């Protein structure tokens, strides 16, 4: 794909035939998706940089430009937004716990997290990190990482949900900081992390290799470490400050979203509505609280939010209305 054609699209000047060819090219391989994301991130960054007259403020400022998603972007897995961060050689703590700070502090030097990529509700993303590790971002998620990994740890931060395929490097483990009181230390492996800011629980599921969970035990106020084996899950609960390592009964379900599947397995309806909100970018107003006493088992692929609500209405005693991207449940 010619870079000139991509730039035309970024500027909103591409013809209909050029847009069709871009869609076909992007869907033909993950490499093309990744290249599109990189070029879009570069274009957005160059368009959005604003220089601060105060040099000290400039060194610590983050400049963000939000993309207006077109129908094309909705179909592109790599449709993520780049944020250029000007950092003065230090780490920005985006609400991470003391546990994260302590673990990262073990590394004498590490690169500042200059790139802050995020997906909006209803959009998923795919990126390749500087060490060739690959990351799939679920909707409404954010990941930060440096230009290149330096020091003895490869540090990234995550808020939301992501599936990682980490390039093996026994001398430089990857450290994934979360917005909860736990951190994941990785050598080379595949795993899924779900850690949304407003969710009561967070979960990590390991598929291959091994990882170490560093977490804060609220009872003893100590940092503890738990090793996970393939198909183990680690669940962290905010309300009770508890953790649990279990053998996941259906581990593939945890990463089904990566394949475009929205899977509910006896899932409480409160969690169902949160996931539908992120998946479709839809708002929910619940006037019938009885729905929270129910659970749902179902698998959805390309169904619209209206089709999904019709299915829910057939199996649960509810009514609903849809207006201006908002579902009201009565």
Does residue 115 carry a pLDDT above 70?
Answer: yes
Higher pLDDT, 41 or 121: 121
Name the band, by pLDDT with cuts 50, 70 and 90, for residue 47. Answer: very low
| 88-92, 155-159, 177-181, 234-238: the lowest-pLDDT one | 88-92
Name the band, by pLDDT with cuts 50, 70 and 90, for residue 322. Answer: very high
Using CB atoms within 10 Å of the CB of residue 221, give its burial: 0 to 12 exposed, 13 to 18 middle, 19+ buried. exposed
Give the pLDDT confidence of 21-35 residue by residue, as tens digits: 876 776 676 567 667
Whole-angstrom distance, CA of residue 139 vs CA of residue 120? 6
Per-residue confidence (pLDDT) for residue 198, from 0 to 100: 86
Higher pLDDT, 76 or 139: 139
Higher pLDDT, 56 or 11: 11
Per-residue confidence (pLDDT) for residue 3, from 0 to 100: 73
Residue with tokens 């940092």: 223
Per-residue confidence (pLDDT) for residue 46, from 0 to 100: 52
Does residue 220 carry a pLDDT above 80?
Answer: no
Give the pLDDT confidence of 134-190 residue by residue, as tens digits: 999 999 999 988 888 888 889 999 999 999 999 999 899 999 998 888 889 998 899
- Domains of the chain are 1-75 (no CATH), 87-253 (2.60.120.1440), 261-329 (3.55.50.30)
* Residue 191 in tokens: 């795993």
Does residue 104 carry a pLDDT above 50?
Answer: no
Name the band, by pLDDT with cuts 50, 70 and 90, for residue 194. Answer: very high
Give the pLDDT confidence of 270-289 residue by residue, as tens digits: 999 999 999 999 999 999 88
Per-residue confidence (pLDDT) for residue 97, from 0 to 100: 38
* Residue 205 in tokens: 């599921």
Per-residue confidence (pLDDT) for residue 138, from 0 to 100: 93
CA 211 to chain centre: 19
Q: Residue range 58-62: average pLDDT?
A: 39
Per-residue confidence (pLDDT) for residue 215, from 0 to 100: 82
Q: Are 14 and 25 in contact (CB under 8 A)?
A: no
Helix then strand count (H, E) for the chain reads 9, 20
Of residues 302, 303, 307, 311, the one with CA closest to residue 322: 307
Q: Are 222 and 263 in contact (CB under 8 A)?
A: no
Does residue 316 carry a pLDDT above 70?
Answer: yes
Q: Residue range 250-273: average pLDDT?
A: 90
Beta pairing partners, 323: 326
Q: Are 226 and 234 in contact (CB under 8 A)?
A: yes
Give the rounded percent of residues in the chain with a pLDDT score beyond 70: 69
pTM of the model: 0.68
């Amino acid at each position: 794909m010619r870079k000139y054609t991509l730039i035309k699209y970024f500027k909103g000047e591409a013809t209909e035939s050029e847009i069709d060819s871009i869609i076909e090219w992007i869907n033909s391989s993950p490499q093309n998706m990744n290249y599109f994301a990189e070029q879009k991130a570069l274009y957005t960054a160059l368009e959005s940089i604003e220089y601060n007259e105060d040099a000290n403020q400039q060194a610590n400022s983050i400049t963000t430009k939000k993309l207006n998603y077109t129908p094309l972007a909705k179909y592109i897995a790599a449709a993520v937004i780049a944020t250029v961060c000007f950092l003065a050689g230090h780490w920005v703590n985006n609400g991470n716990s003391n546990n994260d700070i302590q673990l990262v502090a073990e590394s004498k030097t590490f690169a500042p997290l200059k790139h802050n990529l995020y997906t909006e509700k209803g959009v998923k993303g795919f990126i390749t990190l500087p060490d060739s590790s690959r990351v799939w971002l679920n909707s409404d998620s954010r990941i930060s990482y440096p230009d290149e990994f330096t020091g003895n740890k490869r540090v990234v931060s995550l808020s939301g949900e992501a599936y990682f395929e980490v390039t093996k490097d026994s001398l430089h483990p990857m450290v994934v900081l979360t917005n909860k009181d736990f951190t994941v230390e990785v050598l080379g492996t595949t795993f899924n992390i779900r850690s949304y800011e407003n969710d009561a629980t967070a979960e990590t599921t390991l598929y291959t290799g091994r990882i170490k969970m560093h977490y804060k035990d609220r009872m003893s106020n100590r940092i503890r470490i738990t090793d996970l084996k393939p198909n183990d899950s680690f669940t962290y609960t905010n309300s009770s400050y508890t953790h649990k390592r279990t053998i996941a009964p259906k581990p593939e379900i945890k990463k089904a979203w990566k394949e475009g599947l929205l899977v509910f397995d006896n899932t409480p309806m409160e969690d169902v509505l949160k996931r539908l909100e992120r998946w479709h970018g839809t708002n929910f107003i619940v006037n019938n609280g009885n729905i929270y006493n129910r659970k749902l088992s179902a698998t959805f692929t390309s169904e619209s939010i209206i089709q999904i609500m019709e299915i829910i209405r057939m199996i649960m005693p509810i009514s609903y209305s849809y207006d201006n991207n908002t579902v009201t449940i009565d």
